[in-house]
Every structure is written in C-alpha cells, then in structure tokens.
Structure 1
Amino acid sequence: MLFLSVLSSCLAGVAALPPYGGSQEFFFKGHDLSSLKMLEDGGCIYKDTTRHNQTMPADDILAGGGMNSVRLRVWVNPVDGTYGLQYNLDLAKRFQQKGFKIYLDFHFAEDPQKQPPPAAWPTTLGPLALTLRGYVKDTLVSFHEAGINLDLVALGNEIRHGMLWPLGQADVDVEPWPATVANFSNLAILYKAARAGVDDAIYAGVRKPEVMIHIDNGWNLTLQQRWFGALTANGVPTTAWDVFGFSFYPFYGTAATFDNLRTSLNTLAEEYRKPIQVVETDYPAICNGEYHPIPPSSEPEIPYSIAGQTIWTDDVIKIVQDVPYGLGRGVHYWEPAWLNSTSLGSNCSDAILFTADYSNPAQTVGYSRTSVHMFQVRA
C-alpha cells in the first residue's frame, strides 16, 4: 500500500506542472566549479596572466572570460563533506553574490555507470521513492532558506543507465521495444518522485527552478529518442522536465561529431519544443601520449591544444545557439580549474583552462590560459 500511495502522489504532483516559461533571451555560458572550494582549501591559488599574474579567485578570472553561470554537483552524504549540502551552500552563496546564475546537479550516486543508492536509503521501491522525494524537497528548501535562488536543477547526473541501482537501472538497448519500455518502469517511478520533490519545495515557498533531465552522448539521436520515448511511455509527462541537458565530449567515440550533435539537438527541438543545453564538455590542451595512448578526436581537424579548447567550445556554442526556435540555451565546460585532476577523467593529460605549477609542494598555482576567454568569441 505504501508503494501505491507513493506512486499515486508522485503522479498527481507531476501532472499539475506548468508549461515551460523561462527566459527567451538568457544563454548560459557556464563552468562546473564544484571542486573549487576543495582546491582552495587545499592551498591552490590562481593567477590571471592577462593582469600581470595577479592572484585572483578562479571564478573571477573565468568571469572575465565571459562566464555567467556556475554548475555545482551535490552528493547525498559524502564522507568528508566535500560536494555535500553545506559545501555547496557555501559555494552557491559566493557565486550568487557575484551575480552568476546557479545550476545545481543532483548526484544521487557518485558513479553514473553504476548509480548505487546512498547506503542509508531504503532498498525497496516505494520507500526509496518516498525518501528520494523528501531528499529533493529538503535540499531545495535548504538553498531557499540560505537565500539562494537556483536557476536550474538537474534530477540526476547522466542518467542514461537509470539511477539508484539496482531498482532504478534502465537499459535503452533492450529489444524489442515493449521490453525497453518495461525496463524503464522503475526509473520512471523514481524520476516522478524526484520531480514531485521539486513541487513539494515550491509549495513550501521555494522559487521554481527550471528542471532538467541530463544524460550523456548528446550527439546520439537514436539514444535520445529511445530514452525519452521509453520514459514518457511509462507515464512521465513531457511537462515533468523543462530543459534537456546533454554531455558532449570529443574523445569517447569518433561518432561524437558536430554534425551528429547538430542533428540530434535540432531534431529534439522540433519534436519536444523544449530548451536544450550542453551541460558537460571539455577539450584537451595537452594530449601527447605520455601516460595513455592518444585517443582520436571526433573532430580531428581541431588540434589538442589551448587554441583547440577555444575552437571546440565555440563551435559547440554555435551549434547550440542555432537550435531552432531559439531553444538552444547554454553550454557548460566541465571543471576548468581542477589543478590536481587536469585530465578530467580522459586519457589526455590536461583539459583544464589553467596551467598548473607544482614546483611548490605547499601551494599549487594555476596560471590562466587564453582559453579562459572561450565564451567571449561569441558575445
């Protein structure tokens, strides 16, 4: 009975959602700066090479390069507090005071390829959905009570494979199609619960943020059509999200081309008439095979270089800005200031926007590269 009541209440909350009513003008030019506080607390500093190596906060340097929004990733219960609620409240206050729009990305699990639920959460579907709903509400209320207005909220990070495994696991490649739809049933219940948590927060006085669904491989139209088709076939109405968010990287497959990204985004805009953002991308400044074989780029004419970082990102911006009906709404670069993880998870050694100097063991220094100005190519 608990399961049925949770499902019923989630469905009721989602069904009443208003249509998208966001700004028709603002274009997000953002960076994910989730790790910045951890880096600063660990002694990292940043210098602006356009100001005679003046020491400045990384966010100020990036703002000088055209950044107008910041993406933050929030974990449920991180062991040391890094990426947790208070950690993000501190960062969000700082960034909001400087005039940046704030985009919060819920990481219900730390590994998007496995998506395990937090250890203390229930392991049966009804109670898990109820806990998820309450967690989303409580988190959004906490930001509101801290005086922070969230502009974008993503319910899960790269959830192509579902979330909160094993109950919420989903496989878009299952055949035949009825099996694909059935495979998404638990994920749909969990998503509805998370989305109802947003409504609960709004009813508690939180200003409504735009709600995003974020999955990877934004260039893969077949994936996107099947994924969202399976979700909506399970009773998730298209009013249950406001914005499409996609990841798009150059080195996870040579099919991740600009042409394929353009086709995918334009087709989804025609089919759904919803705003679209590329919410994760980056490009290597250094990829010389020192530690791993050099991965082929999906756009091989763009060199792995500092100049290439700007070219790649500017081309992505152009594709998003050209989405029909003005529905292309933003691009976010992933962790440009992460001095102690410069590869950003790729097989290239350096994809950040600062040159790291490790000569002083007590203090890593990041010197801004010309690519920090990537958002100024298209004003």
Structure 2
Amino acid sequence: MWVASVITASLPLLASAFPFPNPPGYGGGEPFFFKGHDLSSLKILEDGGAVYVDTERGNVTRPAEDILGDGGMNTVRLRLWVYPKAPYDGGYYESYGLNYTIPLAKRFHDKGYKIYLDYHFSDYWADPSKQATPEEWPTTLHPLASTLRDYVSSSLLDFHNAGVDLALVSLGNEIRHGMLWPLGEVDVDIQPASARVANFTNLAMLWAAARNGVRDAVACGIQKPQVMIHIDDGWNLTLQETWFSSLTATGQVKTSDWDIFGFSFYPFYGTAATLANLKTSLTALVYKYNKPLHVVETDWPDICNGPSAPELSEQSIPSPSPAKSSGSTTSSTSSRAYRGVLVGV
C-alpha cells in the first residue's frame, strides 16, 4: 500500500507497545498497540493541492488517513504550537495552533483514530536544539509556571468541547535539554549529581505545572488522557536513567505523574543508535519503572549517500525495492523492526 510521495516523507512513525494491562477506556484482552503517523501537516499539503492515490484500490484517490488506516494505522499524532507565526527560517509553518489543530483532530477522531497531542510549548519547533518560550508568555519562573498550567488546562478543554477525546498527551517535545528556555533548560551531563538535580529544579517545576493543568482539565470533565514524557535518543540507557532520576530527585515530579515513556530513535544519528541498544535501554526502563513505552519518532533515510551522508547504525534494514523518494517502503520495513523490539520488551 502506497501513499503519494508528497506526504510519506513527512510522516514520522509512531510505534508503541503496552506490555501491561490496558489503561481505562481501552477494554480488556490483548494490550493495545498504538500504530500511527504524525499527520500535522496534512491539511497544509492538501491546501497546496496534494492528493493521495491508493494503489491497492486501482489507483483511486482517497484521503491519506483512509489509506494509512487500511495499512494498520490506529493513531494520529498532531503537534500544537502556542502562537505560531512566520518563522525566522522562511518556512511555511505559520500554523499548528489551536485553530488549525482542533479541526484536524476532529476529522481524524470522528473516523475512529486515537489522537496523540504533542505539546511543543513554543511558538515554533521545539526539539533538543531549541525550546524557545512563547513570546507572549512571562519571563520569570512562577508566573511562567502559572501560565503554562492554565494553557494546558484550557487547551485540553478546547479539544473536549470540540468533541475530541485525546488518548495521549506529551507535555513537551524531546525535552532532554528541558523546555521553555532559558528558565527550563537543563544539562544532563552536569556533575556532581547534586548539582545536576539542582539544575533540573526549574524544569521539574514547569513540567509539574503542565501536569497539574491536565489534572485541572480532568476535574472539569475531560476524559483523562495518558500523560507522556518524551525525550530523544531512546537507545542511550545512560542518558535515560540519568535524566529521569534527576527529574524525580527534585521532589517536584513523582514517577506516578506520568503514564508513558516516549522516545525518539533515529538510526542515522550515530552508530550506537542500534535496535539492540534500543531494546536494552527500553527493557531496563520497563523493569525500573513498570510503565508502557512508546517509540514516538523515527525515520529511515531512503537514499543516504554522498560525502555528507551519516554513517548508519542499522544497515540490515534495506528498502525492499529500488530507492524511492517517498520512503514509504523503507518506513514499512523499519516499523516492523521497531515493533519487534517493543513487543519483545
């Protein structure tokens, strides 16, 4: 099954497993396995004239989510920015605010897909290299925490009032170096441990405020979503253990405050980013924390050559057909490999 190349290259895989009883609302029986894509940009692409062809149905044009659903997708991830505006790098991303994201979530929710909301807590992309505080938010710690709590609560209620029950919410996106910089920035490599924990104190206060925003919204009647902490380099056990132990050592965030681990895994960011190391890391975290795990971002380069090409960690996941710019066959192959890791944890 294929989706037009205009979209597949922009769809990070969401693969996750629950080696635990299902959370409330998921019924009994086998644990629910989330399988999905980030479709945040779908409407932007459609508005630009993109169409999607289903080769399994005689090349008929269909909505992208219907094609992906036939292939097993059951979850859609959507990013949320605070006050998105034309970015400094000239991109087209003047979007992803509530007015854009809620109707898109409603579209997918009404078709039966579970919705995973990815809070960036920024006006633009948030990732390990940038976590800018929204321009209109306070620049001192306690007012910022209060604003964050109110924002999470009110935005969750906005989704609820639109008829969208969120299955998963990530409070921050890839927050290894913290969020809401500079106040919430952290350095996981600081020594000694006491100094590192002190460095995590602001982040812990801010993350706890966001978590309290979820509690406030639940108290107002929304269905409780599963709360995630998402950081990158899921294959790096030392990073994961140090980061989460530092966060909880502040005393402001308890392990019971989050329901799910979310990790990024990009095999082209270093030769140590192997499936074997990923499994080792996730297995250790399962035994330590007894929580579900998700690989919420991954990708695999369909064409990776030339002098600037990175050295890949998993040469054993080739594209099953000649290289195509869509990356869709490669994504399918790698997703099976990741699922094998997660089910085996």
Give the TM-score normalised by the residue count of structure 2: 0.85
Higher relative contact order (CA 8 A, sep 6+): 1
Of residues 310, 327, 349, the one that matches 2:332 is: 310
Letter in 2 for 1:43: G
1:136-215 map, 5 Å: 136-215=152-231
Q: Does 2:289 match 1:272?
A: yes
Provide the rounded CA distance (Å) in 2 between the counterparts of 1:280 and 1:321.
17
Provide the rounded CA distance (Å) in 1 between the counterparts of 2:65 and 2:290.
33
Any gaps of 5 or more consecutive residues in structure 2? 1-21, 87-93
Question: How far is the alpha carbon of 1:191 from its aligned partner?
Answer: 0.4
Equivalent pairs, count: 303
Q: Does 2:341 match 1:319?
A: yes
Letter in 1 for 2:280: T
Matched residue, 1:97: 110
Of residues 260, 268, 273, the one that matches 1:243 is: 260
SS in structure 2 at match of 1:104: strand
Provide the rounded CA distance (Å) in 1 between the counterparts of 2:134 and 2:261.
26
Provide the rounded CA distance (Å) in 2 between the counterparts of 1:129 and 1:73.
21
SS in structure 1 at match of 2:73: coil
Quick check: 2:126–2:174 contact (8 Å CA) kept in 1? no
SS in structure 2 at match of 1:173: coil
Quick check: 1:89–1:146 contact (8 Å CA) kept in 2? yes
Quick check: 1:133–1:193 contact (8 Å CA) kept in 2? yes
SS in structure 2 at match of 1:157: coil
Provide the rounded CA distance (Å) in 1 between the counterparts of 2:330 and 2:36.
18
Provide the rounded CA distance (Å) in 1 between the counterparts of 2:138 and 2:330.
46
1:19-168 map, 5 Å: 21-22=23-24, 23=26, 25-79=31-85, 82-109=95-122, 110-112=125-127, 113-168=129-184
Quick check: 2:126–2:173 contact (8 Å CA) kept in 1? no
Letter in 1 for 2:250: N
SS in structure 1 at match of 2:52: strand
Any gaps of 5 or more consecutive residues in structure 1? 1-19, 324-379
Quick check: 1:282–1:313 contact (8 Å CA) kept in 2? no
Matched residue, 2:15: none
Matched residue, 2:277: 260
Residue identity (%): 60
1:82-119 deviation line (CA, Å, top 9, x unaligned): 11102111111110111100000001122321211000
Quick check: 2:106–2:164 contact (8 Å CA) kept in 1? yes
Letter in 2 for 1:76: V
1:23-81 deviation line (CA, Å, top 9, x unaligned): 46211001010000111111111111222221111111111111011000000011265
1:196-238 deviation line (CA, Å, top 9, x unaligned): 0000001111110000000000000000000000000011111
Provide the rounded CA distance (Å) in 1 between the counterparts of 2:57 and 2:219.
47
Letter in 2 for 1:88: T
Give the TM-score normalised by the residue count of structure 1: 0.77
Provide the rounded CA distance (Å) in 2 between the counterparts of 1:79 and 1:284.
30
Letter in 2 for 1:259: A
Quick check: 1:256–1:298 contact (8 Å CA) kept in 2? yes
Question: How far is the alpha carbon of 1:143 from its aligned partner?
Answer: 0.3
1:307-331 deviation line (CA, Å, top 9, x unaligned): 44332211101111122xxxxxxxx
Provide the rounded CA distance (Å) in 2 between the counterparts of 1:319 and 1:148.
31
Letter in 2 for 1:254: T
Question: RMSD between aligned alpha carbons?
Answer: 1.6
